[in-house]
Structures are given as structure tokens and as C-alpha cells.
């Protein structure tokens, strides 16, 4: 039996270099060190469309010029292309696995059927296992918005109550499954970070001596950073690992330089980095309209935060015309405007709301990717041998600052003493940031008077 062209295998999808992680053809995508991943980029899904429409999988600049005659059919201009399976969840499991990993829209159909009661051995693990849960959450968000907007169109155009109720039932089922999947993803993340020692975060210290050292180091941040570099370099830490991180861009760059993160600066990434705000906005809107052919370069670690911030701004601009009073989620307009409207008005409103929903979906994706990236970088830093050496250098730097600036340290301790209990523990009732700011202003005055 001839294989259907729409049934693309994963090894077919890997036939061009990945634009996000730069892995060559036929190599598994790899973004975090020693961790093959599909989380920080969309993979190579555009190749699915090329295969579905009988196009070459070779990159355009490598494709030789050749003309292929279509199979002879009775109709003029027709091609022998098999249509997608109408019920993809009925495919053999190995075919279904390949299909949902290269076709977002088919994945959305499968997760919707699963949320509405479809049971099949191995389907839970396939859809919500560690390798696919983020993509399934993305598909559930798309399916939830799709059912909601379709139901709204029926209500506003005076459609049958039975059809509206059917869509409402599907929408509630998908929303419930989405909440379960997001909770499961959070549990997976917490378990991984706990096993690595990142969680739980240490509680806020109530030791006045420790807090005074910390605030002195923050006040004299430049001197402290120089001391950390000096002590760490003396202990054998590479100079690149000693740089103080002031922004997420610097952190990503350091992880790339240290080999913890595989994310080369390709021409596509350079092009996006150089775009102005309006051009970048047009690029992300175009990406939001293409679920099965997404712009992989937007998921580059150096672009993730800009992508999320621009999505927030674009959502704020589009919300009024989409009939949404906020940008938190897709508001149900039938609750506030249940009256029937003209066909033209419903179509225009539906188009704007679909764009708004697509941008909401992309924002959720960007936040998940940023979280995954930050977790991965934190785990990579903790696994590196320089991590403990830098902690020791930091402790030595705090001690040296106390030795060099006893007057400043003594003033901080004196101010903190007002908040100590009789057991020598701190009990600061107001915001700590406000108290710290007041103390820093007093230290500025002391330095100006030359008392330090």
C-alpha cells in the first residue's frame, strides 16, 4: 500500500537545519546541554506542509531546479494528493505519534477528542508525557478559543440552541482538560527543580548579621562584584563565568558562551534582533495567524522576552476592537451582548477576536518557553563546577566588605537592631525594600560627609 503523503515521519521533518538551535540535518534538536528538546522552539513543522502539498523537503538554496510532471488524471490540473485522515486518533500509534508532532492542527483535533472522552491505551502518555505536554497545552488553548468563538458567532447570528450547547459542552471539556494539564506541568517542573536542589527557595533570613552583610554588598555592588571576580578567578573559575548578570540577555549570552545553551545567532535571529518595534509587531502578528507554519526564530532565547513584551502591547491595542475589556483571557461577549447582530458585523468581530485569541495563545506559549529556558539555565549553572566556587567567592567578598567598611556595616546593624526581638531575630513588619531604601539614603549621607 502506498504511503499517504500527509503521513510524515519525524525523520522526514529533520531534513533541514533547525533555525532555532542550529542543529544540522537529520540531527535531533538540542537547546539545553545534554538535553534533547522540543520545548524552546516549534521544531520543523513547516516541513509538514511541504510534504502535504508534495513539495521538496530540501532547503530552497540547496534544491536543484527540476520540473516534475503530475500524475495523469481525468481532471485538468489535478494532483494525486491524499487528504488527511478525518479521524487521526484512529491511526496506529506510531503513525499518530509522528503526525501530532509535525501537525499542530491535527494535534488540536486529537487533544479535543481526548478532552471530550476519547479513551485509548497509551494516548494519555503520548499527549501529556514530558516530551509533548507543552505542545498539547498549546493545542488545548487553541481548541478552547476556537469553540468559544464559534459558539459566540452562532449566538450573535441567531443559530440553533442545540448547536450552541454542543459547542459549549466541548468548550467546557477542553477548558477542564487544559487546567489539568497546566497543573500537571507545574507539578513536573516543581519535582524537577526540587530534585536538583533549586526548590524550595530558602526563606527570607531573620538573622540581622546575615541581612546586614547582604545589604552592604548590595549598596557597594560594584566593589562586591570586583571582589567576587578576583576571588573566583584566583580559585580557577573562568573569567567568562565570573561576569555579573544584569539582564536576561546577558544571562542567555553567558550560557551560550559557556556551552550550557545551544542557540547560535543565525541570520534569521540577527534579522529579528535588528527590527524596529513596528516591523517586529508585524512579524509576530503574521506568526500568530499560522499555527502549522510558525516562525521558529521567534523562539530563540535572545528574542523570547521581547516577543512576550511586544505581544502584551499588541494585545492591549487590539483588545477594544475585539470586544475584550482586558488582556487576561478571551472574554465571553455573549454574557454582555447577547442580542443578535448583522452578518457583516459578526464576521468582522469574529475575525478580530480570532486574531486576539491567537495572540493570547502565543503569549501563553512565550511565557511557558521563558519559564522552561530560565529553569534550564538555572539547572545548567548548578551542575557546572564553577557554581560552588562562585558561592564561596561571594561569601568571601561579603566578609571583605565588612572588614573594609566597618562604619557602613555598623550603621546598617544599628538600624536593624530596632527591629530585633529579644532572641536576636529580626521582625520587620513593613516592606523590607522600603527600609532598605531609607538605610541606603542614610549611607549616602555618611559617604558624602566622609564618615566611611
Q: Among 47-51, 139-143, 146-150, 177-181, which stretch is predicted with the lowest mean pLDDT?
A: 47-51
Could you tell me which residue, 65 or 148, shows the higher pLDDT? 148
Backbone angles phi, psi at 30, to 5 degrees: -150, 110
The pLDDT confidence band at residue 245, using thresholds 50, 70 and 90, is: confident
The pLDDT confidence band at residue 267, using thresholds 50, 70 and 90, is: confident
| Spatial CB neighbours of 215, under 8 Å, sequence gap ≥ 6 | 412, 436, 439, 440
Each residue's pLDDT tens digit, 361-370: 999 999 998 9
DSSP assignment of 93-158: HHHHHHHHHH-HHHHHHHHHHHHTT---TTHHHHHHSTTTHHHHHHHHHHHHHHHHHHHHHHHHTT
Each residue's pLDDT tens digit, 268-301: 889 999 999 999 999 999 999 988 778 888 888 8
Each residue's pLDDT tens digit, 328-346: 999 999 988 766 678 888 9
Question: In angstroms, rounded to a whole number, what is the distance separating the alpha carbons of residues 420 and 69?
Answer: 86
- 152 contacts 333 by C-beta, under 8 angstroms: yes
Question: In angstroms, rounded to a whole number, what is the distance separating the alpha carbons of residues 36 and 27?
Answer: 10
Give SS3 for 228.
helix
Bond from prior residue into 200 cis (ω within 30 degrees of 0) = yes
Each residue's pLDDT tens digit, 231-241: 999 999 988 77
- Burial (CB count <10 Å: 0-12, 13-18, 19+), residue 344: exposed
Mean of pLDDT values over 162-178:
97
Both ends of the chain: CA-CA distance in Å? 86
Residue 24's pLDDT is what? 75
- The C-alpha cell 530540501 sits at 58
Residue 63's pLDDT is what? 42
Each residue's pLDDT tens digit, 14-68: 555 676 677 776 676 666 655 544 444 454 443 333 433 333 334 443 444 444 4
Nearest to 116 by CA among 185, 179, 182, 172: 172
DSSP state of 407: H
Question: In angstroms, rounded to a whole number, what is the distance separating the alpha carbons of residues 371 and 373?
Answer: 5
| Spatial CB neighbours of 163, under 8 Å, sequence gap ≥ 6 | 154
Each residue's pLDDT tens digit, 400-428: 999 999 999 999 999 999 999 988 999 99
Residue 104's pLDDT is what? 83
Nearest to 184 by CA among 112, 129, 118, 262: 129
Amino acid at each position: 500500500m502506498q504511503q499517504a503523503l500527509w503521513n510524515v515521519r519525524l525523520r522526514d521533518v529533520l531534513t533541514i537545519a533547525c533555525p532555532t538551535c542550529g542543529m544540522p540535518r537529520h540531527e535531533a534538536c538540542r537547546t539545553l546541554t545534554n538535553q534533547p528538546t522540543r520545548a524552546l522552539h516549534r521544531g520543523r513543522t513547516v516541513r509538514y506542509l511541504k510534504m502535504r502539498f508534495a513539495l521538496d523537503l530540501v532547503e530552497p538554496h540547496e534544491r536543484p531546479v527540476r520540473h516534475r510532471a503530475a500524475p495523469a488524471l481525468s481532471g485538468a490540473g489535478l494532483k494525486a494528493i491524499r487528504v488527511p485522515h478525518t479521524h487521526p486518533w484512529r491511526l496506529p500509534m506510531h503513525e499518530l505519534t509522528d503526525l501530532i508532532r509535525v501537525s499542530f492542527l491535527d494535534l488540536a483535533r486529537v487533544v479535543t477528542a481526548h478532552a471530550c472522552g476519547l479513551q485509548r491505551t497509551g494516548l494519555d502518555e503520548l499527549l501529556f508525557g514530558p516530551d509533548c505536554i507543552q505542545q498539547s497545552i498549546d493545542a488545548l488553548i487553541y481548541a478552547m478559543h476556537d469553540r468559544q468563538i464559534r459558539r459566540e458567532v452562532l449566538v450573535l447570528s441567531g443559530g440553533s440552541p442545540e448547536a450552541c450547547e454542543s459547542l459549549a459542552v466541548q468548550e467546557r471539556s477542553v477548558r477542564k482538560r487544559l487546567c489539568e494539564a497546566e497543573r500537571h506541568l507545574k507539578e513536573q517542573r516543581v519535582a524537577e527543580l526540587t530534585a536538583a536542589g533549586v526548590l524550595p527557595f530558602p526563606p527570607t533570613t531573620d538573622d540581622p548579621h546575615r541581612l546586614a552583610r547582604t545589604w552592604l554588598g548590595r549598596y557597594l555592588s560594584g566593589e562586591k562584584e570586583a571582589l567576587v571576580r578576583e576571588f573566583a578567578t584566583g580559585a580557577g573559575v573562568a573569567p567568562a563565568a565570573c561576569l555579573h548578570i544584569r539582564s536576561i540577555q546577558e544571562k542567555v549570552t553567558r550560557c551560550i558562551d559557556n556551552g550550557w545553551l545551544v542557540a547560535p545567532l543565525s541570520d534569521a535571529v540577527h534579522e529579528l534582533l535588528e527590527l524596529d518595534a513596528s516591523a517586529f509587531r508585524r512579524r509576530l502578528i503574521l506568526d500568530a495567524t499560522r499555527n502549522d507554519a510558525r516562525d521558529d526564530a521567534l523562539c530563540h532565547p535572545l528574542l523570547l522576552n521581547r516577543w512576550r513584551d511586544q505581544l502584551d502591547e499588541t494585545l492591549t491595542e487590539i483588545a477594544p476592537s475585539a470586544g475584550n475589556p482586558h488582556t487576561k483571557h478571551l472574554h465571553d461577549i455573549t454574557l454582555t451582548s447577547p442580542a443578535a447582530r448583522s452578518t457583516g458585523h459578526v464576521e468582522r468581530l469574529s475575525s478580530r477576536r480570532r486574531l486576539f485569541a491567537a495572540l493570547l495563545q502565543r503569549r501563553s506559549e512565550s511565557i511557558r518557553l521563558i519559564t522552561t529556558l530560565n529553569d534550564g539555565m538555572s539547572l545548567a549553572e548548578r551542575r557546572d563546577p564553577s557554581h560552588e566556587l562562585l558561592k564561596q567567592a561571594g561569601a568571601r567578598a561579603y566578609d571583605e566588605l565588612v572588614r573594609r567598611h566597618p562604619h557602613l556595616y555598623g550603621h546598617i546593624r544599628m538600624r536593624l537592631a530596632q527591629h530585633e526581638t529579644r532572641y536576636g531575630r529580626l521582625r520587620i513588619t513593613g516592606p523590607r525594600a522600603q527600609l532598605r531604601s531609607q538605610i541606603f539614603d542614610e549611607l549616602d549621607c555618611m559617604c558624602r560627609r566622609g564618615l566611611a
